[in-house]
Chain A
Amino acid sequence: MAADERVLLMGEDIGPLGGVFRVTDRLQADFGSARVLDTPLAEAGIVGSAIGLAMRGYRPVIEIQFDGFIFPAFNQIVTQLAKIRARHDGRVDMPVVIRVPYGGHINSIEHHEESPEAYFAHTPGLRVVAPSTPNDAYWMIQQAIASNDPVLFFEPKAKYWQKGEVDPAAPAAGLHQTRIARTGTDCTVVGHGAMVTTLLQAAEVAQSEGTSLEVVDLRSVSPIDYEPLLASVRKTGRLVVAQEAVGNASIGSEIAATVAERAFYSLQAPVLRVSGYDVPFPAAAVESLYLPDADRVLEAVDRTMHY
C-alpha cells in the first residue's frame, strides 16, 4: 500500500476491528478510511464495486469474511470479474485480489469452514492460489496485488495462528510455482494450503516406518505448475493427492487426470485421492472425521505402495 497509492482495501469489519482475523489490523489508522474501506454487509456489492474501481485504475484488495459467504458474490466473480478483460479485448485489466479465509480445523459453525476453491479454478480468467507458510503468505499476497489479473487468494484459517520464518530479503518463488516441501523417493503426496502441514506430518510418520514421501506444495491451484509435480512422480512412481475440499470434480480430480495423461508410464500404481467426503462440511463436533488427517493420507500411501 505504501508502494502504490492505487492499492486500496475493502471489506466488512476490516477498519477499526482489523478484520475478524485481524489481518488488516491498524491499516486503516495508517492509511486512512479512504484507502481501507469498511463496507456495507453485501458481498456482491464488495466485488462489484471493486470491479468498477479496477476499471478506473485502482487495485482493490477485498476481503470476503468467510469461505461460505463468497457465494452471494459468485455471480460478480464468475460472470463479470473473470471475463471483463476478455470482453474488452485486453484493453481493461482487472487487478482485483479477493482474500478468502478458507478451510477447516477451527471448529466453527456452518458456512465458516469450507473449501470452495475448485469453483473458481474452473472459471477461465481467474487465478487461484493458497499459501501454506508465513513466508509464502508474505510474498504471495504482494505478487497477487501486483498481478494485473484477478486473483482468488485463499488463506488457510488453520494457519493464522501458526508462526514461521519470513525472509523479506530472499527472492520469492513465483506466484504460481509449485514447491517441493520435502524430498523423498517412494511416493509423492501433493496438496495445498493447510493440507501441506498434514502431508508433512504424514511424511514424518512414514519415514519412521521406512517409507520416504516427497511432499509437494501446489501453492497455486489455477494455474497449476505441473512440471515439478510430474518430475516428482517420474521419480517416485506413485502419487497421492490430498485436499480438504470434497473430492467430486475437484482440484485433486484435475491433478489425477493430468498426471495420468502426462506420466502414465511412470506410474507404478493408480493415482489416489484423499479428500473431504462428498457431503456438506459437517458440524464441528465431527469435522476431524471429515478432514483428511495424516492417518488417512498414510492409509492411501499404503494402498498405493502395495498396489
Chain B
Amino acid sequence: MSEQTTYGPLHGGADPEPIRFLDEAGAYAPSATAAEFADELSAVGIDDFKQWYRDMVSTRAFDTECAHLQRQGQLALWVPSVGQEGCQVGLGRAAEAQDHIFPAYREHAVALIRGVGFLQIAAQFRGLTHGGWDVTDPAHGNFHLYTLVLGAQTQHATGNALGQLLDAKRRAGDTSMDAGEPGTATGEATMVFYGDGTSSQGDANEAMIFAASYQTPEVFVVQNNGWAISVPVARQSRTPLYRRALGFGLRSVQIDGNDPLAAYAVGRRFLREARTGGGPGYIEALTYRVGAHTTADDPTRYRPAGELEAWQQRDPIARFEAHLRTLGIDDAFFEEAREEAEREAKRVRDGILSLPAPQPGSMFDHVYSEPHPRIDEQREWFERYESSFSEGSAE
C-alpha cells in the first residue's frame, strides 16, 4: 500500500504491516500482525459471511443508483462509498446492539447494518430533510445522524461515550473521576467514523484528548481513503495516521481496510476492550475512495495515473467473493445476492422519487422545544402569507 503512504523516513522505526487476513486476491493469508486477532473470527460462520457479502453488494448497488439519481438531477449531491464497503461491513458487524455509532456521511453500509433504510439516507441528499431517521428508535441501531461539518461528530461521540462511562459509575455508586484513574467497565461502547482529511481538524484531535483523559469506552475509526476531495493524505500527515493516536495515548492499529475480516476482528476486539474498561482505541483502515469525494468533484483532475486501477485490483467485494468461493459458496449465491441488491436499489429509485416534500410550515416546528415568540410570530405570518396565494387562485 505504498502508493498512498509515501512518507519519508519515520521516527521511531518502521511501521508493522497492516493487519490483514485476506491477501489482495482474497486468499486467506493472515499477516503476522493479524495473529493476535484471529480468535475474534472463531464465532463467525458461513451464514454470517453470506450476510456480510449481501451487505456489501447491496450498498454498492444503492451507491451506484444514487450517483445516477444525482446525475439526473434527482439528488442534490451524492457521497459515494464505493471501495470502502469492506471496512464498513466488518466494523459495522463487529458492533453489538447496545453500542452507539456516530458516522461522518459516507457510512452507508454501516447504516444498513444498523437498520437505517437506504431511502432514509437518500432523502437527506435529495434535500427533503437535514436528518432523516429517528435515532431514538431502537430499530435504527443507535446509528446517529450523518454530520457534514468535518469532525464535529467525533466530539459528540466522545460525549456520548463519557455518558456511558458516567452511567456505569452512577450504577456503581462511584462519584469520582480522577485524572489517571483506570477505565470503568460500561457494557457498551461508542464507535465514531471519519476520514483522513478530517484527521487534520482540531475537533478530531480534541476528541482524542478528551477520550484519553476520561478513558471513554470508544473506538475511533479513520477510513483513510487516500484523498480529502483533491488533497492527498500525504498533505494531511507526515506520519501514518494511526501513529498520531498513539501520541494521544490511545491503543492504535492500522488495518487493511479492504479486508472485512480484519475490520471485523480488530473492531470486535477494540469494542470489547472499550466496554470492559480498557479505554479508547483507534483503527486506521487503509482503503480507497474509488469514486469522487462527492458527485461535485472530478477525480481525473487530481489522481495520478494508474492509482485507481491499482486499487481496483484490491476491491473489497471481489476479494471477499474469492474468499467465499474457497469456502465452497457457489455461483448461485452470488448471483442471487447481486439480483437482490439490484432490486433493492430499484426500490430506492422508485421510493425516492415519490417521497413527499416536507410540509412548508415544518421549518418552524423543531427549532426550539419551548415556545419562542419570534418563531411563533413568523410562523403565523408565513401561514397567512402563503394562504393568501391559495385564496387568490380560488377566486
Contacts and interface: CB of A to CB of B under 8 A. Distances in A.
Interface string A149-164: 1000000000000000
Given A37-B177, A53-B163, A89 B202 contact: no
A9 B162 CA distance: 13
Interface string B150-175: 00101111111111101101100011
Contacts of A288: none
Contacts of A88: 131, 134-135, 145, 366
Given A42-B210, A44-B203, A49-B158, A85 B366 contact: yes
Contacts of B149: 75, 79-80
Interface in A76-102: 76, 79-80, 83, 85-93
Given A39-B210, A45-B210, A53 B152 contact: no
Contacts of A280: none
A216 to B, nearest CB: 16
Contact of B369 (A31, A72, A93): A93
Interface stretch (A55-63, A133-141, A179-187, A289-297): A55-63
7 closest A-B pairs by CB: A52-B159, A48-B155, A32-B175, A56-B163, A90-B366, A45-B206, A49-B159
B335 interface: no
Interface in A19-58: 31-35, 37-40, 42, 44-45, 47-58
18 contacts: A5-B170, A34-B166, A34-B169, A40-B206, A40-B213, A42-B210, A48-B156, A52-B163, A53-B163, A55-B144, A79-B149, A85-B366, A89-B134, A90-B365, A92-B135, A124-B375, A149-B370, A223-B373
A32 B206 CA distance: 24
Interface string B128-157: 011100111000000011010100101111
A304 interface: no
A125 interface: yes
A83 B130 contact: yes
A88 B158 CA distance: 19
Nearest to A58: B163
A56 B164 CA distance: 8
A40 B159 contact: no
Interface in A200-233: 223, 225-226
Given A52-B160, A53-B162, A56-B163, A76 B155 contact: yes
A147 interface: yes
Count chain A CB atoms within 10 A of each CB in B155, B161, B166 and give the residue with the most.
Answer: B155
B370 A33 contact: no
B136 A91 contact: yes
A72 B205 CA distance: 13
Given A48-B207, A53-B163, A80-B147, 14 more contacts: A32-B175, A37-B214, A47-B155, A49-B158, A52-B155, A53-B162, A54-B159, A55-B156, A56-B164, A85-B367, A85-B369, A93-B369, A124-B375, A223-B374
A37 B177 CA distance: 8
B209 A40 contact: yes
Chain B binding surface, main DSSP class: helix
Contacts of B375: 124
Interface string B173-210: 01111110000000000000000000000110011011
Interface of B: 129-131, 134-136, 144-145, 147, 149, 152, 154-164, 166-167, 169-170, 174-179, 202-203, 206-207, 209-210, 213-214, 365-370, 372-375
Nearest to B146: A87
Interface of A: 5, 8, 31-35, 37-40, 42, 44-45, 47-58, 72, 75-76, 79-80, 83, 85-93, 124-125, 127, 147-149, 223, 225-226
A35 B162 CA distance: 12
A48 B162 CA distance: 11
Contacts of A37: 177, 214
A176 to B, nearest CB: 8
Contact of A34 (B144, B177, B179, B372): B177
Given A85-B366, A92-B136, A51 B373 contact: no
A33 B178 contact: yes
A32 B210 CA distance: 19
A145 B70 CA distance: 44
A93 B370 CA distance: 10
B210 A40 contact: yes
Given A48-B207, A88-B145, A125 B160 contact: no
A9 to B, nearest CB: 12
Contact of B158 (A34, A48, A223): A48
Contact of B163 (A5, A42, A57, A149): A57
Nearest to B169: A34
B156 A51 contact: yes
Nearest to A95: B369
A219 B188 CA distance: 42
A24 to B, nearest CB: 16
A225 B135 CA distance: 34
Contacts of B207: 45, 48
Contacts of B162: 49, 52-53
Given A76-B152, A87-B145, A90-B366, A51 B210 contact: no
A76 B152 CA distance: 7
A136 to B, nearest CB: 19
Nearest to B376: A223
A35 B210 CA distance: 16
A189 B130 CA distance: 42
A87 B152 CA distance: 14
